[in-house]
Structure 1
Amino acid sequence: MTARAVFGAIDRLPSGRFRVRYTAPDGTRHKVPGTFGTRQEAEAVRVRVHAEVLGNNPVIAKPSAITVGQYLADYLDHARATLRPRTLDLYRRTADSWILCPVGTTTPVDISTVTVQALTPGFVRTWYVALLDGTRVAALDQSGTSRRGPHPARAWAVSHGFDVAPTGKLPTDVLDAWTAAGSPAPTMPTTAGEYPGRTAAAGAYRLLRTVLMQAMRDGLITANPVHVKGAGTAPHPERRPLTAGQVVALADAMPDRYRAAVLIAAWSGLRPGEAFALRRDDLDLSAATVTVSRTLVEVPGDPVAYGPPKSAAGRRTVNLPRSILPVLADHLDQHTGTDPDALMFTTGHGNPVTASTRSGVMRRARLAIDRPDIAWHHLCQAPGFVEAPFLGFLSSRGFNRGLVDPFRM
């Protein structure tokens, strides 16, 4: 059965889905790539195609059958030349987990098989709602290996204040803690915003929107269908800032070789990757400055490497309060090699301090001061002043000479 319209035609297929056909200005006949679940969706596409034909859009004259999955794979291949390795790795893992496979539990949705030109705002909304389930549908790849959903330990870890990435391999200490807690399954949220998968959903949405923006620049489509209001952001619990006294207590609860890292991060605003990439020569005790020229780069499966800071402005020299200089000098004497390029902070075996190691020591220290919500990134937002408790902390360790309050520097 065929429903005729002023422009084009909508056919209902034996499968129950709908197809859109039309005739281009040059007399050639075309089918819009893909099929549609409802007549309303097909009608919306027919109207859009008609508008493009009236606008003399050359893309409509030669429809493309490239799917979202194919275009996304090409996008990531080309992005190797411009994206940082860690960003590219995050994009690949996000794509594999949430875009290139079916999502949803009640009615699985697979956006990867839809052609780029046939993708509609309505279908994107359907995909996003399924994505908020936070659970991938088990699917078999060509080798017969099952694609599993998110590990239940990840949701448990996030809800208990552990510092874990939304995707990727879970640290051993997190898995051990989850096992010790009885391997609990994640509980369903009372509201959508409480579900820990919301962060992963927002990341997948932003990636899809970025890829479709490139499709627009390539002339493959004329409008980006990915525009669900608020989908690119995820609600997070309010971060309570650390007081100077809490910074002191946190540093005091750390293993000795990481105590100075807390102080540098808190009083300089360095990101964790920047702080743990510092070398001996980056610290100038006479000038009370630290120079940031690189950051730690961790890509799963690859050795730890070093790259430029997050932005061009990230290359900078930061002033430090002279109050902490004796602590830093003591750290250099006790825990840093004598070579100018020696890492300022290392593990007990002299290796770079990776994210999983940082998370482990931070977790134990923050529990000791009853602030289970703290992560290393909190220290970037710590107050930039020194209070009496901090000076007392230094004095208790024998650094009672030459301490200068930065307010009086």
Structure 2
Amino acid sequence: MGNKPGHRQFGNVRRRESGRWQASYLGPDGIRRFAPSTFPDETSAGRWLTLREADLIRGEWNDPDLGRISFGNFGASWVDEHELSPRTRELYKALLRLHIDPFLGKKELAKIGPETVRKWRKDLQDADRSADTVAKAYRLVRAIMTTAVDDERIKRNPCRIKGADTAARAERPVASVKQVYALAEAIGPRFRVFVLAAALTGLRWGELIALRRVDIDLDDATISVHRSFAELSGGRLVAKRPKSAAGIRTVPIPAVLVEELRVHLVKYVEPHAESLVFTGERGGTPKRGSWRSTVKWTAKVKEAGLPAGFHFHDLRHTGNHLASRSGASTRELMHRMGHGSMRAALIYQHHTDARAREIAAALNEVVARENKPGDDEGGTGLPALAR
């Protein structure tokens, strides 16, 4: 009698020989589904069935078999199937291999809940992973789990830690115009314009080293950005299109850079249209590590009066600040930087404190000048500009 199935309107419970209770039901696809584990009593088994019935009524039922794939297998497929730049694909695979799969890789998607994600993230932090690495790994897990939700493998994304997708970063240094020119001079004639172009156009390293003669229009004073070089592990360079439509752009350049480029093209660039603009003495494309050592970057940074730890990317940072201080609008900054969203452009506008102080000082002079005693012809006691 103990093994006789229970009679219910939805599902079925039965007592096993072990004394524990098993619950099952027929899914919308006609396949019988069993609870992932047995229950200590009939009430607990019935409660589980009640929850499954509620899912069906709300239209929130998921095929539990879909959630039984391991995170490692699903994550690897996710990286292979998504359209990613070569460098981003390499980064994601490294994050999975080093920081995610060792903890989450063998777990089934359906068994990864918020508590599991919190523990995994805490373990990364306890293992002294950098805040930036932890944030990148968390963003990748969240993106993979979002796809799992879309594929109806799981009901909800377990990545719900507020602020876990960002890492606080120290404010990067900004060079003055004099320091930029001092650094360019110290680097030497072959890469002088390379440094100036980074600061005066805001182009990224990969965009600069991919520039060809045909991309530069000195008569129109513009540089066209159509591609970039991604440097993979081992130093291999791969040409790629910008990751968004905003990355394909034409950047106007100041007249001072036009003349510098004119001389550079004559002295260091082959005459045909596809010739790379910035190359080493043997015609090779600069690679970050070897280029830094070749030009003795650290020593030259110090020679130019810049702080230790000043990176080449800080020249782009400097150029964006200069453009913002010049009065560029948010939309103009977005175009110049090659960004499709306002977030990065707003950062530079937010940090133009020097320009804000200049405006405040000028306003103070206007108020002081027009609010002198005896100048209030209308007797209002207000400065003229306030009337």
| Fold agreement, TM-score > 0.5 | yes
State the identity %. 30
The 2-side partners of 1:290 and 1:237 are apart by: 31
Shift in Å, 1:312: 1.1
- Please state which structure has a larger fraction of its residues in helix: 2
Deviations 1:75-103 (A, max 9, x none): 12222xx11111111111111110111xx
Give, in whole Å, the separation in 2 of the partners of 1:56 and 1:386.
54
CA contact (8 A) 1:32 1:118 kept: no
Q: Once the 2 structures are TM-superposed, how far is the Cα of residue 358 of structure 1 from its aligned partner?
A: 4.2
Q: Is the Cα–Cα contact under 8 Å of residues 276 and 353 in structure 1 kept in the other structure?
A: yes
Residues 322/64 of structure 1: CA separation in 2 closer, same or farther (3 Å cut): closer
DSSP-derived class of the 1:296 partner: strand
In the alignment, what sits opposite 1:93?
A: 94
Structure 1 Cα separation of the partners of residues 180 and 145 of structure 2: 44
Match of 1:381 among 314, 317, 321: 317
- For residues 95-121 of structure 1, give each alpha carbon's deviation from its aligned partner in whole angstroms, at most 9, with x where no partner exists: 1110111xxxxxxxx221211011110
The CA deviation at 1:357 is: 3.2
Counterpart in 1 of 2:80? 77
Query: Does residue 308 of structure 2 align to residue 305 of structure 1?
Result: no
Distance of 1:49 and 1:83 partners within structure 2: 38
- Mapped to 1, the partners of 2:237 and 2:78 lie a distance apart of 26
- Rounded Cα–Cα distance in structure 1 between residues aligned with 2:205 and 2:152: 40
Aligned residues: 291
Contact 2:114 2:158 in 1 (8 A): yes
> Which one of 297, 300, 318 corresponds to residue 365 of structure 1?
300
Map residues 194-209 of structure 1 onto 2, 5 A cutoff. Answer: 197-209=130-142
Distance, in Å, in 2 between the alignment partners of 1:335 and 1:312 is: 31
Which consecutive residues of structure 2, in runs of 5 or more, have no partner in the other structure? 1-10, 14-19, 38-47, 327-387
Indicate the SS of the match to 2:185: helix
SS in structure 2 of the partner of residue 223 of structure 1: coil
What is the match of residue 256 of structure 2? Answer: 323
Q: Is the 8 A contact 1:20 1:31 kept in 2?
A: no
The verdict on how the C-alpha distance between 1:211 and 1:284 changes in structure 2, with shifts beyond 3 A counting, is: same
CA RMSD of aligned residues (A): 3.1
CA, structure 1 residues 48+367, in 2 after alignment: closer, same or farther (shift >3 Å)? farther
Tell me, in whole angstroms, the C-alpha distance in 2 between the residues paired with 1:47 and 1:301: 56
Alignment CA distance shift 1:282-1:60 (3 Å): closer
User: 1-side partners of 2:173 and 2:21: how far apart?
Assistant: 54
Task: For residue 53 of structure 1, report the CA deviation from its aligned partner.
Answer: 5.2
In the TM superposition, residue 333 of structure 1 has moved relative to its aligned partner by 2.1
**Matches for 1:217-296 after TM superposition, within 5 Å:** 217-296=150-229
Q: Secondary structure at the match of 2:233?
A: coil
Q: TM-score, normalised by structure 2?
A: 0.67
In the alignment, what sits opposite 1:182? none
Any runs of at least 4 consecutive aligned residues in structure 1 with deviations exceeding 6 A, and if so which?
45-50
Q: Please list the CA deviations of residues 220-279 of structure 1 after superposition, one character each: whole Å capped at 9, or x if unmatched.
A: 011100121111111111123222122112212213211101111111111111111111
For 1:65, the equivalent position in structure 2 comes to 68
Partner of 1:30: 34
How far 1:340 sits from its partner (Å)?
A: 1.6
Distance 1:235 1:373, change over 3 A: same
CA distance in 2, matches of 1:230, 1:28: 41
**Aligned residue number for residue 357 of structure 2:** none
Counterparts of 1:237 and 1:321 in 2: how far apart (Å)?
30
CA distance in 2, matches of 1:89, 1:21: 45
SS in 2 for 1:97: helix
- What secondary structure does 2:133 align onto? helix
Rounded to whole Å, the distance in 2 between the matches of 1:230 and 1:385 is 28
**Cα distance in 2 for residues equivalent to 1:57 and 1:319:** 53
1:300 Cα deviation from its structure 2 partner:
2.1
- TM-score normalised per structure 1: 0.64
Q: 1:31 to 1:315 in 2, by over 3 A?
A: same
**Gap runs ≥5 in structure 1:** 1-6, 10-18, 34-44, 102-109, 136-195, 388-409
Pairwise mapping of residues 5-20 of structure 1 onto structure 2 (< 5 A)?
none
Instruction: Confirm or deny: 8 A CA contact 2:206 2:228 kept in the other structure.
Output: yes
Q: Distance in 1 between matches of 2:90 and 2:12?
A: 43
Offset at residue 325 of structure 1 (A): 2.4
Cα distance in structure 1, aligned partners of 2:197 and 2:242: 17
- Contact in 1 for aligned 2:265/2:277 (Cα 8 Å): yes
AA aligned to 1:30 is F
Distance 2:122 2:182 in 1: 43
- The letter of the residue matching 1:342 is S
Aligned to 1:126: 119
Q: Which amino acid aligns with 1:100?
A: D
| Offset, 1:23 | 3.2
> For 1:11-63, what per-residue CA distance to the aligned partner results, in whole angstroms no more than 9, with x for missing partners?
xxxxxxxx997533559452439xxxxxxxxxxx9998676355353425546
Following the alignment from structure 2 to structure 1, what is the Cα–Cα distance between the partners of residues 124 and 325?
46
Q: How far apart, in 2, do the equivalents of 1:125 and 1:83 lie?
A: 27
Do the aligned partners of 1:288 and 1:320 also contact (CA within 8 Å) in 2? yes
Deviations 1:295-335 (A, max 9, x none): 11222257423121232122222111112223222222222
Match of 2:265 in 1: 332
| SS of residue matched to 2:68 | coil
Contact between 2:63 and 2:153, CA under 8 Å: does it hold in 1? no
